């Protein structure tokens, strides 16, 4: 079986990419992990996933489930203090590159040392706090926004908006993410 083509590189001269969106309600950390495992079934080498949400929203929990679904090596934990972690595949799939851009200020220029543009064709790249920093890597990407109640609350409910941008996601069934 032929491997799917990697995501297309970004070209600023191209028109704004097409957009596809689904809204999902997640009611527990376990359900967030399950959503990550389902997401793994949609991803392939060359895919960029941007995660946004408040601290404690569930970005790393989602990525942990994604790593389990991709069958990668190593515990998927927050890369906050190391900026990026690479999790090689234990199966025949792509490695997972998990980036936390929270401490990085500017755009792609400040992230250049991470060589994400070099890793992208062969990997699945997940960037927490990547909004405004990594969009230039490719027109084809998923942006996942996780909204949670803020303040002193024990509410586990998360409202997740998954937006597929570009031709790569035009025909994808993002509805499978809701379980």
Question: Can you give the pLDDT at residue 142?
Answer: 96
Helix (H, G, I), strand (E, B) or coil at 161: strand
Q: What is the pTM of this model?
A: 0.81
Question: Can you give the pLDDT at residue 114?
Answer: 55
Question: Can you give the pLDDT at residue 48?
Answer: 94
Q: Give the pLDDT means over successive 10-residue stretches in the chain (179 positions).
A: 47 56 95 97 95 92 95 80 77 89 60 58 88 84 92 82 95 91
Radius of gyration of the chain (CA): 15
């Amino acid at each position: 079986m032929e491997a799917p083509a990697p995501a297309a590189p970004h070209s600023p001269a191209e028109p704004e990419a097409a957009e596809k969106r689904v809204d999902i309600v997640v009611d527990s950390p376990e359900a967030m992990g399950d959503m990550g495992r389902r997401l793994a079934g949609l991803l392939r080498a060359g895919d960029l996933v941007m995660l946004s949400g408040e601290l404690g929203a569930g970005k790393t929990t989602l990525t942990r489930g994604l790593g389990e679904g991709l069958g990668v090596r190593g515990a998927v934990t927050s890369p906050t203090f190391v900026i990026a972690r690479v999790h090689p595949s234990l199966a025949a799939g792509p490695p997972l590159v998990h980036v936390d851009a929270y401490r990085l200020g500017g755009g792609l220029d400040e992230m250049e040392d991470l060589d994400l543009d070099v890793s992208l064709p062969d990997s699945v790249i997940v960037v927490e706090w990547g909004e405004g920093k990594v969009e230039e890597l490719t027109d084809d990407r998923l942006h996942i926004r996780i909204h949670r109640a803020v303040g002193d609350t024990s509410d586990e409910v998360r409202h997740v908006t998954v937006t597929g941008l570009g031709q790569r996601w035009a025909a994808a069934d993002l509805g499978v993410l809701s379980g």
